Structure 1
Amino acid sequence: MRGFWLGMVCLGLACRAVAAEPPPARIELANGEWAPYLSERLPRRGFASHIVSEAFRLAGVQVVYRFYPWARAEAMVRGGEIAGSVVWSVTPERRQFALFSDPVVSDEEVAFHLASRPMKAERIEDFYGLGMATPNGSRLGVWQQAVDAGRIHHYVTKDVQSGMHQLLLGRIDFFPIVRAVGLSELRRHFSATERAAIVAEPHAFSRFDYCLMISRRQPGAEALLARFNQGLARLRASGEYRRLERDFHAGVYDSPSVR
């Protein structure tokens, strides 16, 4: 019995030692292609990547990004093959295998359409009878029920750029996409005349917070996440986050040639 209690005491001390273990000086995170937030080809690996790197820097942790297809990145976090990944929306399924940070960036989904075709765009019902497109692999979200009921005609495009081309050609009526992503694609790939032909409605149909996710299998995951959240809070309090955000909206993260 004495040996049993001695073992329990040692186990408790070991657990406290692990909990008190400082975060690693260097971690690897899975990343992917979602310009202008994330991209291997953009300045600082995109705006969201830059924010994550700076927040971790303030916490004394260096980040190395490895780029993978999104499904692969999520599977690696689930299996504990990598410390975590940037940036993701929180879902009940993902909470089973990952911890999530405070929001790194937030954005909203809006409807892009031709300026020459003004439309009422405040309710899903306003789009009944029209044709929309989404990039391959994207979820329909708030549009799912109307599409399933045949109220809205749905097409799939290769990517965001293709969807904008479909708008210009009049093959679809509207294109719902995250606002910053759509505006960046227009700045990067379309002429001034083409950009002027497409407008983004002010009404948001969905709002999203995108977070760092850390694998629950990562040693010291909770401590690592706490350090990141502290660094992110310091970044916001310093005013540096707002400066980077202004750069983001000005298009600084659109092209590798800018910075």
Structure 2
Amino acid sequence: MRHLIAAWLAMWCMTAWAAPLELVIATNEYPPYISTDPRQSFISELFDRIGKDMGVKFTFRFMPWKRCLVLLDARDVWAAVPFVVTPERLERYLLSDTLYARRAKFFYYDQPGRSWPGGYKDLAELRQFKIGGVAGYWYEDLFKAGGIALDLANNDQTNFRKLQVARFDLAIADENVGNYIIRTEFTQQSGGFHSLDTPYYRSENVMLVNRSPANAELLAKFNRVLDNLRRSGAYDDIVSRRKLVLLPVGS
């Protein structure tokens, strides 16, 4: 009996002190949503809370967006985040519940003698303006289908620099990302930036996970914890403290 008790205690100690399961997630710099700087990383804080309740550790690996999906497909990472929902992704991956819902807006910078509309009813009304965007972003095909050519940059920061020196009239960007760039990179000129009243696009961002029974079980637990954080108010506390403008999920 003593041997059995000793064996049980040894097993208990090994279990109690075992390191939590580590789940590696592919992502890219996209403050204020995700960043190596925790002060500008909403998702990092949210996932830390979720991981504690799940008993797992989430580790983020930063890389270009396209490589995130390459490593996900190769199963070199557990998940990729954040991504918008598309029919192809619904078919190919397991998708988490919505992490956050956001909107894109058209930003402009004051120019002498120029005026911009407060809003618009149809995208075609903006054809008179030169519009800047980022190559490879979700809206590129939508503009192309609408017959509107975009002046494309490699990233949002470059896009806003071009906007500020009047390379074009409007820049399309996620509302929180645009506000973050204006606040951090244009501190002296921030008062000259504005946005049209009419949002361009609403999207709900999720986490992508490869299909497998084990992943489905983990993801179901992830979603339950995320829902609990929303119901308890902890999710809104994080959003409020980080001064993000997010939309109600499912609205």
Range class of TM-score, shorter chain: 0.7 to 0.9
In structure 2, the residue corresponding to 1:137 is in which secondary structure? coil
Distance, in Å, in 1 between the alignment partners of 2:86 and 2:97 is 14
TM-score (norm 2): 0.81
Cα distance, 1:173–1:44 mapped onto 2, change above 3 Å:
closer
In structure 2, the residue corresponding to 1:196 is in which secondary structure? helix
Alignment of 1:21-36 (within 5 A): 25-36=21-32
Give the structure 2 partner of residue 127 of structure 1. Answer: 126
Give the structure 1 partner of residue 231 of structure 2. Answer: 237
Matching of residue 118 in structure 1 with residue 112 in structure 2? no
Distance, in Å, in 2 between the alignment partners of 1:44 and 1:56 is 18
Q: CA deviation at 1:44?
A: 6.0
Select 2:220's aligned residue among 214, 226, 231. Answer: 226
Alignment of 1:46-57 (within 5 A): 46-57=41-52
Distance, in Å, in 1 between the alignment partners of 2:243 and 2:39 is 15
Distance, in Å, in 1 between the alignment partners of 2:73 and 2:28 is 16
Cα distance, 1:159–1:59 mapped onto 2, change above 3 Å:
same
Q: CA deviation at 1:141?
A: 4.7
Distance, in Å, in 1 between the alignment partners of 2:217 and 2:40 is 25
What RMSD over aligned residues (CA atoms) do the two structures have, in Å?
Answer: 2.1
Q: CA deviation at 1:186?
A: 0.7
Distance, in Å, in 2 between the alignment partners of 1:215 and 1:182 is 31
Cα distance, 1:212–1:34 mapped onto 2, change above 3 Å:
same
Q: CA deviation at 1:56?
A: 2.6
Q: Percent identity among equivalent residues? A: 23
Runs (5+) with no aligned partner, structure 2: 1-19, 246-251
Q: Which amino acid aligns with 2:144?
A: Q
Q: Which amino acid aligns with 1:137?
A: G
Distance, in Å, in 2 between the alignment partners of 1:184 and 1:134 is 16
Distance, in Å, in 2 between the alignment partners of 1:210 and 1:238 is 21
In structure 2, the residue corresponding to 1:113 is in which secondary structure? strand
Select 1:106's aligned residue among 89, 98, 101. Answer: 101
Distance, in Å, in 2 between the alignment partners of 1:63 and 1:247 is 22
Cα distance, 1:76–1:95 mapped onto 2, change above 3 Å:
farther
Q: Which amino acid aligns with 1:176?
A: I
Matching of residue 198 in structure 1 with residue 231 in structure 2? no
Alignment of 1:151-230 (within 5 A): 152-192=148-188, 194-217=189-212, 220-230=214-224
In structure 2, the residue corresponding to 1:103 is in which secondary structure? coil
TM-score (norm 1): 0.78
In structure 1, the residue corresponding to 2:23 is in which secondary structure? strand
In structure 2, the residue corresponding to 1:85 is in which secondary structure? strand
Cα distance, 1:83–1:250 mapped onto 2, change above 3 Å:
closer
Instruction: Tell me whether 225-234 or 79-88 shows the greater mean CA deviation.
Output: 79-88
Q: CA deviation at 1:204?
A: 1.4
| Number of residue equivalences | 221
Runs (5+) with no aligned partner, structure 1: 1-23, 252-259
Distance, in Å, in 1 between the alignment partners of 2:33 and 2:170 is 23
Distance, in Å, in 1 between the alignment partners of 2:124 and 2:156 is 24
Matching of residue 81 in structure 1 with residue 76 in structure 2? yes
Distance, in Å, in 2 between the alignment partners of 1:51 and 1:154 is 34
Q: Which amino acid aligns with 1:30?
A: A
Q: Which amino acid aligns with 1:67?
A: F
In structure 1, the residue corresponding to 2:68 is in which secondary structure? helix
Cα distance, 1:153–1:67 mapped onto 2, change above 3 Å:
closer
Matching of residue 142 in structure 1 with residue 136 in structure 2? no
Q: Is the 8 A contact 1:142 1:205 kept in 2?
A: no
Q: Is the 8 A contact 1:52 1:104 kept in 2?
A: no
In structure 1, the residue corresponding to 2:32 is in which secondary structure? coil
